[in-house]
Amino acid sequence: MLYVTRYTIRGERTKERIGALMTTFAERGEIPGTIAHYTAMDGSGGFVLVESDDAATLYQATLAYQEWLEMDTTPIMRIEDAGAPHPGFTRLTVPPHVVGPARRNATTR
């Protein structure tokens, strides 16, 4: 199963707190099954993509970092594995905030 975790820094970003977080990360290493680990460019947190059949491993990571990070983990799947959309689904209206004016009201067939 695939999981994506978005994490944000909890509390103040002092040198001491970030240092303790990085020390813990260096000691624990990546979560087993990590495919990718991205940081937000504003320094507020990041994203981790993990493939694992052991949800307890992700839970243990959540517990290990809860002093410094708020974590939101969601099970996900590849779109091609999700199956066909509903048979009556023929039109997709893309919200304006997602794409520019030239791509609004895109259709799918």
Q: How far does CA 88 lie from the centroid of its chain?
A: 31
Residue 102 belongs to some domain of the structure: no
The DSSP code for 52 is -
Would you tell me how many other CB atoms lie within 10 Å of the CB of residue 52?
16
Residue 27 belongs to some domain of the structure: yes
Question: What's the pLDDT tens digit per position in 30-87?
Answer: 999 999 999 999 989 999 999 999 999 989 999 999 999 999 999 999 888 877 666 6
What is the model's pLDDT at position 83?
A: 74
Query: Number of structural domains, the chain?
Result: 1
Q: Which residue has the higher pLDDT, 97 or 43?
A: 43
The pTM of the full predicted model, rounded to 2 decimals, is: 0.70
How far is it, in rounded angstroms, from Cα 54 to Cα 46? 22
Residue 40 belongs to some domain of the structure: yes
The parent domain of residue 32 ranges over 2-77
Residue 102: pLDDT above 80? no
The CATH number given to whatever domain includes residue 8 is 3.30.70.1060
